[in-house]
A and B are shown apart, each in its own frame.
Chain A
């Protein structure tokens, strides 16, 4: 380990001892070239990514005769449809997070501890929504929702029923986040310890395992919130007025306000994801601490 640590600094100087003028000069030139290339790439591609966002900010703050104001942002909360859409989407997001955690955490912990051979199956099922486009799920789930709307009364026709599909949509992302949390601790030992001290299974999972994987749970939840707030395909085709559907409809009448909402929502999601990248181990870079049990794969 120490060798590899030192080698990055040592190699060029060793090289320089052997063939002083040429080697060190080339290495330095290469480093400088690399830095230039990085800066050029970052400026160009990052610039391309930032341009439309900057344009949103510019567009949404336009006033009369080239002036700037925040009227479009102030109008967000006086628009009943928008407030409705935001509330609906936030409620769905909360329900989705709860449902997702309840479905995923006990199942994943149980799989690791008691039925490891099912781990591949659970993983496969959780990643399956990546292979089934959202629009295909809508086509297939239409009959199920029609049935719910007819037989379950008001509850069956509520936009909150979108939670059921949204849980499916967030599964791949949430699975990965929680999985990296579970991999970073020794679940079996913790469970054995808790069980041998007399803890029941629910207590073992919620009071022993969950606190130890809260980083993974946090990033799973935040990803789920972001995905639900951004979901359009399913709610629009099932005719539920969630945030994105309202933004889209509003865009036809008052593009300034709808761009303002969209920009605010993007910034909100960015802050969420940025915050979890500080708290969650392996939120975006899970491979760095992938532990010992890899051979099983």
Chain B
């Protein structure tokens, strides 16, 4: 390694390799040429991620003719329909994030105390991946098959138990139904996000706590709880944005009206544009960006703190 006489052949790709490609000092900054190779990546993201975001942002404060205006943003604060949609979206996201974090956290604990390479864990991780990230429309159908008017559970209560419980399936199509279905995909997401943090709790800490006479309660109160608190809070925020941004499940389940903000935006996209309101959809989208960015910034800050223990 030291003073190696082997100089790499520069011929093969001299443009990319730069002047001093001895490799050993490759971590040093060596001219702008190295950055050129990153152009395709940045160009692609610029075109398909940054540009759409800019179109939304600029469109939110311009008229159809291109002049500056605040008329698109105003309805977000004055129009009862939009205010209501934002409020309901936030309520839904908060409720399902908390429910998902609590149940998902418990489930993660139950899984993590088992064999790390065991079947249970592998099955749970794979199933969680499917349910948390793949669901959308299909999960709405799953709940229709279970709790819909001809669903398994509905018919079971009606025909077998003869109990007048859950027999009116219309609850599924309301905000309550949405909350139940959302919680369904929040739990597995919590498992995916929280499992690595629980893995970070070392066996030695349990043992140290136990050998000092600590029981389960004092372990969680003084050791596990404080260590996991940032991860848990971070996961909670991630679950919030997940529910807040969700569209597919709600679109598949709710066919009348647009009670939440993502459905409102969808309706704006699909309906005929009212003159002078062409850009209201963009303003609503901007409102979503603002809320999600705030939450994700808090998430990033918390995550930095959480990673102290997790690694």
Contact = CB atoms under 8 A, between A and B. Distances in A.
Interface of A: 4, 7-8, 11-12, 14-15, 26-27, 30, 33-34, 37-38, 41-42, 45-46, 48-49, 51-56, 58-60, 103-104, 106-107, 110-111, 113-118, 122, 125, 128-144, 164-165, 167-168, 173, 188, 191-192, 195-196, 198-201, 223, 226-227, 229-233, 236-237, 244, 247-248, 251, 255, 258-259, 262-263, 265-266, 269-270, 273-274, 277-278, 283-288, 290, 294, 297
B52 to A, nearest CB: 3
Interface residues of B, dominant DSSP: helix
B307 to A, nearest CB: 7
Interface in B22-43: 23-24, 26-27, 29-30, 34-35, 37-38, 40-42
Contact of B137 (A48, A111, A244): A244
Interface of B: 6, 8-9, 12-13, 16-17, 21, 23-24, 26-27, 29-30, 34-35, 37-38, 40-42, 44-45, 47-49, 51-56, 59, 103, 106-107, 109-111, 113-114, 116, 120, 122-127, 129-131, 133-139, 141-147, 150-153, 184, 187-188, 192, 195-196, 199-200, 202-204, 206-207, 210-211, 215-216, 241, 244-245, 247-248, 251-252, 262, 265-266, 269-270, 281-282, 285, 288-289, 292-293, 296, 307, 310-311
Contacts of B215: 26, 30
A46 B122 CA distance: 14
Contacts of A274: 122-123, 126
A268 B265 CA distance: 32
A288 B133 CA distance: 23
B56 A136 contact: yes
B92 to A, nearest CB: 14
19 contacts: A15-B210, A49-B188, A52-B147, A55-B152, A103-B40, A107-B41, A115-B34, A115-B38, A125-B41, A130-B241, A134-B245, A140-B282, A200-B12, A200-B13, A201-B17, A226-B134, A230-B136, A231-B136, A255-B141
Contact of A56 (B48, B114, B142): B142
B151 A38 contact: no
